[in-house]
Structure 1
Amino acid sequence: MHPARLSRSHLFAAVTAIVSAVALAACAPAPAGGTTPAGGATSAAAAGAPGDITSLCPPEPTKVVYIKSAGGQVWAAISNAEFQAEAAKCPTVEASWYNGTTGQQAAIAATNAAVAQGAKVVVISPDFGPSQLPSMRKAMQAGVKVVSTVNDVTGQKGTDYVESVVWDTDAIARNQATWLAENVGNGKVAFLGGQPGAPSTEKTFTAFAAALKQYAPGIQLVPDTWVPTNWDASQKRRAVAGLIAQNGQYAAFVSDYGASDIGAVQAIVDAGATMPAFLNIGSSQGFVCAVAQHRIAWLGQDGTTQMSAASLRVGLAALAGKQSAEPVPFVLSVYADTAAGKVPTCDPSISPDADLSSSLPVDTLKAVLNGG
């Protein structure tokens, strides 16, 4: 069992059908937190409040584009729906997206195409790392406000992008390591990540490894680096089967895309092993139901799909010459903590792909994922 692969045309149709309704719905702001407002001291007067796009709507027709190019296709669909819904709150904004799976050059081409088509704001998840920086820099030189999101490519702010909106890896890792120390104590843990070299996985893992040494010395990281799985359930199933065969029982698995952890759960079941704890971000109803079925100890931090909307607000603020009020880094909320009795409900009527930590209504998620 793994998240469905959704075609771009399918998603466009679903989002087009729902975006007007979503624009009227209350859309929760990004989780509070972070150390500074986006834009920093170099920007002009502050704009509105976090989560409020109304003061940022441009006075003239404006094209904005969201580019996501590798892994986590269900996550990308929901993230785009959040982007589209946020853009629909501004009558002058025309939003589109590129959801590519054909590699690095296609992602670069999509950025160049957005510039050629007159986009004024481009939100990019640079899944292929520094290789995408030249195209982002070129877009900035053309006057486009580029916002890097999710993946931290360690480019130069003001030159390669106006802001990098990434999740707060230190806070995530501290919560995970503390939870492991308090609720697991000792044993082996493995970190399951995205495609080889994925910047978001690399940064999240590095923070986790450091926090583990500080807060959970009884937990052993095996292997001592992260395991590539392309954020795919079937690949996680194979990877975890191999880890168990090689290293024996695990006390916990940590990942940066919980929706595909259902594959890891299945590998545990296949091996007849004791079910370990799971700590992840980016969950789904499928994983929620797996937790209920197998009585899994779980810490889930989430709200990641809301980062596209926050990034759009950052970009529009930059376009208006204002300092965005959005907090950077983006702080995730605790979505699930079985040790504290905070457990999302497994609802079989909802698609297993749906991430209910999204700010979108359940009916909207159903439309995005099922076309209903």
Structure 2
Amino acid sequence: MFTKKTPLIALGAVTLLALSGCSTGSLSSDGSDAGSGSDSGSTTSASEVTVGTVGVQGDIQDISAFCGDDDLTVALADGFGGNSWRKITRAIFEEEAAKCPNITKVLYTDAQGDTQKAISDINSLVAQGVDVIVTFVDGGEALLPTIQKATEAGVKVVPYVGSPGGTPGVDYVDFVSEDINTYGKNLAEWTIEKMGGEGNLVMLGGIAGNSYSQAVFDGVMEAVEANPGITLLNEDGPVATDWEPGKTQQVVAGLITKYGDIDGIVADYGGGSVGGIRAFEAAGKPLPVWSANDSNEFACLWYQYKDAQPTYQIATESSRNWVVTAALHKGLAAANGLPNDEPSTYNLEIIEDSTDPDKQPKCESELPPDAILSSGLSVDSLKKLFQ
């Protein structure tokens, strides 16, 4: 396993890029070469923020090392805030920011899946004098010029999970995420193995065109291409579900009608997958092998159906809401001129596997269905959030 000591983009190289105006290119979350995004020549002043290293959740440090002393305003600019994952992530961000006494204001915007609103939200935050913007870029590279302008205005911008393309350390402080392609590949490999290496597979994504789901899909494709017995029914890209259980139920019902037999599903949102499970039940079809990120209800539904459907198995990786804390830390360090060597990319592993006695799914009946147990939010906070 890689550690945070494994640099992918050396700081010296980033500095040379900024001074020379040349670009060697970097990979965005969808795996494409995004170096051309730095044509503006914009730079951050975050010379002490290490960019592009790989590690694990345990490498995240205490926020006190990055708070600084000056009064600061921070903001979470969400591309879409309408599901439980986003609500939990917002709560984590606000709880983490509250640990710094000099953060005098914490703002939040929700673009509601509208790229133009996301652009307007960031411009508005810059106009309000925000010092740090952490943002989930659902709109992909369409947001890059806006982020570059915010950087040029002196705002420390840190995208997380959804990438705007461009060059971390130049167009913005850093990009923080899990290894998205590996997430998709790991879950697809598990799913294909439990399918016996043959059958029909579907990959469920979120909002149409978002860079995160595309990166997960690319990882799934790697596993599919290595298994000729698998037919990926949505070979042109992830199936859009808007990351909402109701929409997922409708979409999966349509897939069942169209294809009949579906033997395996890889999803990039466990909370939305519960709607898909209901679609199979309503259609009277056997539940397929299913993998996603963790969700309390997703686990609880497995316990509900496992005895009647012994071939129905699930696996999850962490929903990694906690990466937002690392994004905030990097933004604060940049704003305060402090060093930060926390990882940019986090390796994930399968944490729940219904076929492994040591990794049985975790269903907490005392917690709300929407709770995410790996999120990093306390049990009391989860109960309060969904009361």
The letter for the 2-side match of 1:50 is: I
Equivalent of residue 320 in structure 2, options 304, 322, 342: 304
Residue 333 of structure 1: CA displacement?
4.0
The letter for the 1-side match of 2:208 is: P
Residue 101 of structure 1: CA displacement?
1.6
Moved more, 315-324 or 120-129: 315-324
Tell me which of the two structures has the higher relative contact order, counting C-alpha pairs closer than 8 angstroms and 6 or more residues apart.
Answer: 1
Partner of 2:360: 343
Q: 1:324 to 1:351 in 2, by over 3 A?
A: same
Residue 146 of structure 1: CA displacement?
0.4
Partner of 1:60: 70
Partner of 1:85: 95
Partner of 2:334: 318
- Structure 1 runs (4+) greater than 4 angstroms displaced: 31-40, 42-47
* Superposition map of 1:172-183 within 5 A: 172-183=183-194
* Superposition map of 1:146-185 within 5 A: 146-185=157-196
> Does the 8 A contact of 2:191 with 2:290 survive in 1?
no
Partner of 1:28: none
More helix by share: 1
> Does the 8 A contact of 1:298 with 1:338 survive in 2?
yes
* Superposition map of 1:168-207 within 5 A: 168-185=179-196, 186-207=198-219
**What TM-score comes out, normalization by structure 2 length?**
0.81
Q: Distance in 2 between matches of 1:366 and 1:297?
A: 28
Partner of 2:298: 287
Residue 74 of structure 1: CA displacement?
1.3
The letter for the 2-side match of 1:309 is: T
Q: Distance in 1 between matches of 2:111 and 2:188?
A: 34
The sequence identity of aligned pairs, in percent, is: 33
State the SS of the aligned residue for 2:297: helix
Q: 1:149 to 1:210 in 2, by over 3 A?
A: same
Q: Distance in 1 between matches of 2:328 and 2:364?
A: 31
The letter for the 1-side match of 2:204 is: L
Residue 33 of structure 1: CA displacement?
5.1
Q: Distance in 1 between matches of 2:260 and 2:3?
A: 39
Q: Distance in 2 between matches of 1:192 and 1:40?
A: 35
The letter for the 1-side match of 2:11 is: A
Partner of 2:258: 246
Residue 344 of structure 1: CA displacement?
3.2
Matched, 1:223 2:234: yes
> Does the 8 A contact of 1:76 with 1:99 survive in 2?
no
State the SS of the aligned residue for 1:305: coil
Matched, 1:232 2:244: yes
Q: Distance in 2 between matches of 1:319 and 1:305?
A: 23
Deviations 1:126-174 (A, max 9, x none): 1112221222111100101100111122123244311111220232133
Q: 1:223 to 1:276 in 2, by over 3 A?
A: same
Q: Give the paired residue count.
A: 337
Residue 62 of structure 1: CA displacement?
0.7
Partner of 2:85: 75
The letter for the 1-side match of 2:260 is: G
Partner of 1:15: none
Q: Distance in 2 between matches of 1:51 and 1:303?
A: 19
Q: Distance in 2 between matches of 1:173 and 1:194?
A: 14
Consecutive unaligned residues in structure 2, runs of 5 or more: 13-45, 51-58, 307-311
Q: 1:203 to 1:234 in 2, by over 3 A?
A: same
> Does the 8 A contact of 1:37 with 1:323 survive in 2?
no
> Does the 8 A contact of 2:180 with 2:215 survive in 1?
yes
> Does the 8 A contact of 1:39 with 1:324 survive in 2?
no
Partner of 1:5: none
The letter for the 2-side match of 1:358 is: S
> Does the 8 A contact of 1:187 with 1:250 survive in 2?
yes
Deviations 1:244-294 (A, max 9, x none): 22212111111111101011101111111111011112x322212111111
State the SS of the aligned residue for 2:100: coil
State the SS of the aligned residue for 2:368: coil
Q: 1:220 to 1:38 in 2, by over 3 A?
A: same
Q: Distance in 2 between matches of 1:260 and 1:183?
A: 22
Consecutive unaligned residues in structure 1, runs of 5 or more: 1-30
Matched, 1:109 2:120: yes
Deviations 1:224-262 (A, max 9, x none): 132111111121112111212221211111111110101
* Superposition map of 1:117-136 within 5 A: 117-136=128-147
Q: Distance in 2 between matches of 1:333 and 1:90?
A: 31
The letter for the 2-side match of 1:345 is: K
Partner of 2:344: 328
Q: 1:201 to 1:292 in 2, by over 3 A?
A: same
